[in-house]
């Protein structure tokens, strides 16, 4: 499903992608992970998304979590709770409890 979030990025500058999505009514989590997650600590990995555009570099906590199964650094996914918006972005959520699947659940327009 295509979700069009057209909000000036300067309004959300340096907020985590998770905050931007939830403030705009976009469900970030798949299934039961909407209540079974780390609430933004970057330890569970359930908010993994693919991101295209201007965002912050991954910090140690995110790199560590993404290096553990079911994630892989090769998947090029980011944790929405740890990734900051620095400009216009396109966000894609994939299937699986941790967003590690290959089927697109939703994507935003860039």
Where helices occur in 15-87 by DSSP H, the ranges are 17-23, 60-66
Q: What is the mean pLDDT of residues 77-102?
A: 93
Residue 68, pLDDT > 90, answer: yes
Q: Do 47 and 38 form a contact (C-beta atoms < 8 A)?
A: no
Q: Are strands 85-94 and 104-108 parallel, antiparallel or unpaired?
A: antiparallel
The domain that holds 103 is classified in CATH as: 3.10.20.30
Portion of the chain with pLDDT greater than 90, in percent = 62
pLDDT of res. 88: 82
Averaged pLDDT of the chain: 87
Burial of 98 (0-12, 13-18, 19+ CB in 10 A): buried
Q: What is the mean pLDDT of residues 63-69?
A: 93
Residue with tokens 């555009």: 53
pLDDT of res. 13: 67
pLDDT, tens digit, for every residue of 11-56? Answer: 566 789 999 888 888 889 999 999 999 999 999 999 999 999 989 9
Count of domains for the chain: 1
pTM reported for the whole predicted model = 0.87
* CA dist., res. 22 & res. 24, Å (int): 5
């Amino acid at each position: 499903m295509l979700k069009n979030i057209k909000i000036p990025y300067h309004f959300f500058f340096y907020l985590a992608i998770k905050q931007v999505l939830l403030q705009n009514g976009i469900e970030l989590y798949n299934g039961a992970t909407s209540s079974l997650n780390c609430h933004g600590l970057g330890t569970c990995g359930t908010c993994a998304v693919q991101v295209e555009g201007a965002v912050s570099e991954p910090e140690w906590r995110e790199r560590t979590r993404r290096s553990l199964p079911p994630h892989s650094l090769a998947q090029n996914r980011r944790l929405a709770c740890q990734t900051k918006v620095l400009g216009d972005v396109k966000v894609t959520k994939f299937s699986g409890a941790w967003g590690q699947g290959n089927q697109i659940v939703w994507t935003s327009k860039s």
